[in-house]
Amino acid sequence: MMQYSIVGFPRIGIHRELKFATEKYFRNEIDVETLFNIVSELKSAQWKTQSNAGASFIPSNDFSLYDGMLDTAFMLNAIPERYQTLDEDDTATYFAMARGYQGQHGDVKAFTMKKWFNTDYHYMVPELDDDMQIKLRSNAFLDGFCQARSLGIQTKPVVIGPFTFLKLAHYTGNKAAVDFADAVLLAYADILKQCAYNGVKWLQIDEPYLVMDLTGEDIALFCDLYRRLLTEKRTVKALLQTYFGDVRDCYQQICELPFDGIGLDFVEGKQTAQLLASHGFPADKTLFAGLVNGKNIWKCNYAIVLEQLKQLRKTCKKIVLSTSCSLLHVPYTVKNESQLDPQITHHFSFAHEKLEEMRELCRLDELSDYQQDSAYRLNQELFQSKGLRENPEVREKVSALTDADFDREMPRRQRQALQRDLLNLPQLPTTTIGSFPQTKEVKQNRAKFRRGEISEAEYRANAKAFIRDCIKLQEEIGLDVLVHGEFERNDMVEFFGENLSGYVFTSNAWVQSYGTRGLKPPIVFGDIKREKSITTDYIQYANSLTDKEVKGMLTGPVTILNWSFPREDISIKEMMYQIALAIRDEVLELEQAGIRIIQIDEAALREKLPLRRADWHSDYLDFAIKAFRLCHAKVKPETQIHTHMCYSEFEDIIPEIDAMDADVITFEASRSKLTILDVLQQCGFETEVGPGVYDIHSPRVPSVEEIETVIQLMLTKIPQENLWVNPDCGLKTRGEKETVASLTNLVKAAKNIREKL
Ligand code: GLN
Ligand code: ZN
């Protein structure tokens, strides 16, 4: 019978035991030993689950106390000087790298964090200094293997491969990846030696970087590393594991290298099947066929996988069924969602359920007439019943869209002039990004309402009281364009999801975002429709309290979708358009209610940009940008549309951002040293801009002079009639005191500069 393999398993614990234990350890409420005991119980339970479900290739060392890249840096002795001089024990040093350290031995910053490929997980970026002695520091990577073996479970240890490690590391000195190749190679050779010594049969080496656009140099580095690493007389089998895409740039080279197994992603790898069909697959190797989606939360369509297996057998002799990537990115089990309608949860498959599906697939694969099997039929019924998820009215609306639905009636320059006349704002208008500090009272109001302790009327009355105070505060500070403060929102996506039909919310479906931080993304289950007004009441109320302009505040369709679990039975484009139509209703209603400035946040615009440049437009930007335009194309030319983006890393998609056709964009710039402004200038950016003049991610209060300097600098690059003055993001995570002080300084600075203009 075909065997199956799991690339990696979630690690936070079904009830987030890891998070709670680690946080207790941080607060000194438990000692290291207790932490490790909890961790080791957690790991044992997971191996048993996988083993009981019949998995043949069970990962170990896929676990991490904080992050796998950080573990790899630690394992390879890539520990920067600043952490070593703390002279702390291993665990404390490790956590200092993860979170920074402020204590009796010093004050050091943590590693920086980055998005892990196209997931919502974040890894710690290793730092490689010129004088670092890279070597295998310990064989802790085998702890799990030995622990599992004592339970009678044979595992395959997992390590992040040398190529991916070198490609993702940050180089602080003059040396580059190739300069570390020899040392890294020796360390990995030691890993193989230790594996052999301890009786490891298979070692899984993760090289997700292979699915990126590779240069000739990259490929040469990869080949060189493995040609030297995988020597002839090896007892440990090496599984090269890739995921998140296909390996089109180096498929043939991979096949020629002496790996024993190759793990390929058939779910996100658009060209994977084609690569095998055109080039074949080496007869002496085992294909770990990533046919079951490891990232999404939906049941797998057995018909598709069984057919793919049949096709693959034409080129491959030895096949192991595999997940397309680690299950790190899905929650543990659907069993914890008993509050949801079984008609809904029936469609879900989280980590535990995926194990059962893989087992079932291996069984069905043996049968010549699996179509007759009852489990198969049950599975297929799921994919035929559409009733619950389809809303014909929404479908029709989307399919009736024409080009005109995406274009505003007046060209941007013209309407910007019109808006300037009408709104009559001062030069360098000051504003904020939307949210104001979420005080204890604000949070309590929401919590009490959620727990049913106060009525909806009470809840809304309290929210309005916060709005009243917020408007008054902004008037006192002297801001030009005011906001209502977003006190009704827990989260910019969840709040909208809760108000749209088609969305489903789980109770326990947590996934790791980074370290101890989890996310519980809402799920798009059916067609999206706005059933009722979402924000207008609050924003209209805010507007009634002041003579100044109040900016309406919405989250855009791209961000709403990017921070949700999308469905698989319709396209991303279709989902984005559905959400855009819902937001459009809200936009037009706000306009009707007399709101003349409306901001549609797209904080996560870049988030799902495909890993390969060739796919950027066709697979994403073309419709993501259009989805945004769809939200606002039908407003009057006089209505000013703002958008906001958080990540300054958008220098390579400036024309696309301009093509969103907003009138104003505010964004985070204070940290990236404003280099983005040069690019805007070069591209002839038309959208008015509000690059953040200070960083809201720290409680520090910027001085008036400091802000003036920043504005002056901005004025050397941006025409003054196009420049807005604002912080770089929402203020909800900040305290009240520092917020008032910072905004007061911001307004003063803007006024001082205005006088000089
Ligand atoms: N309007 C939101 C706020 O001010 C934007 C949040 C964000 O960009 N992440 O909080
Ligand atoms: Zn932001």
Residue 672 has pLDDT above 60, yes or no: no
Distance of CA 696 from the midpoint of ligand 2 (Å): 9
| 697 belongs to the catalytic site | yes
What single DSSP character describes residue 692?
A: -
- What pLDDT is attached to residue 299? 97
- To test the pocket of ligand 1, the residue of 120, 431, 432, 435 to mutate (highest count of ligand atoms within 8 Å of its CB) is 435
- What pLDDT is attached to residue 173? 97
Closest ligand 1 atom to Cα of 432: 4
Q: Write the single-letter amino acid at 679.
A: V
pLDDT digits (tens, 9 = 90+) for 131-161: 999 999 999 999 999 999 999 999 999 999 9
Distance of CA 421 from the midpoint of ligand 2 (Å): 28
Distance of CA 367 from the midpoint of ligand 2 (Å): 53
Closest CA to 160 of 84, 225, 214, 105: 225
Ligand nearest to the CA of 432: 1
Interatomic CA distance for residues 549 and 140, integer angstroms: 60
By the CB criterion, residues less than 5 angstroms from ion ligand 2 are 603, 646, 729
Q: Whose CA is nearest to atom 1 of ligand 1?
A: 434
Say whether 1 sits in a helix, a strand or coil: coil
* Ligand 1 environment, Cβ below 6 A: 433-435, 486, 492, 553, 601, 603, 644, 646, 729-730, 732
Closest ligand 1 atom to Cα of 435: 4
Q: Whose CA is nearest to atom 6 of ligand 1?
A: 730
Q: Which of 105, 170, 279, 697 is catalytic?
A: 697
- What pLDDT is attached to residue 675? 82
3-state DSSP of 24-68: HHHCCCCCHHHHHHHHHHHHHHHHHHHHHCCCCEEEECCCCCCCH
| Mean pLDDT score of the chain | 96
Closest CA to 613 of 656, 580, 579: 656
> Taking residues 57-78, what's their average pLDDT?
98
Closest ligand 1 atom to Cα of 646: 8
Residue 686 has pLDDT above 70, yes or no: yes
Strands 511-514 and 58-60: unpaired
pLDDT digits (tens, 9 = 90+) for 358-393: 999 999 999 999 999 999 999 999 998 776 789 999
Distance of CA 603 from the midpoint of ligand 2 (Å): 6
Q: Whose CA is nearest to atom 4 of ligand 1?
A: 730
pTM comes to: 0.94
Residue 102 has pLDDT above 90, yes or no: no
Interatomic CA distance for residues 29 and 122, integer angstroms: 27
Which token pair is 378? 């049950």
Q: Which residue has the tokens 């009981």?
A: 52
> Taking residues 121-132, what's their average pLDDT?
97
Closest ligand 1 atom to Cα of 599: 1
- What pLDDT is attached to residue 556? 98
Residue 175 CB neighbour total at 10 angstroms = 14
CB contact burial 25-61 (16+ within 10 A = b; e otherwise): beeeebeeeebeebbeebbbebbebbbebbbbbbbbb
Ligand nearest to the CA of 486: 1
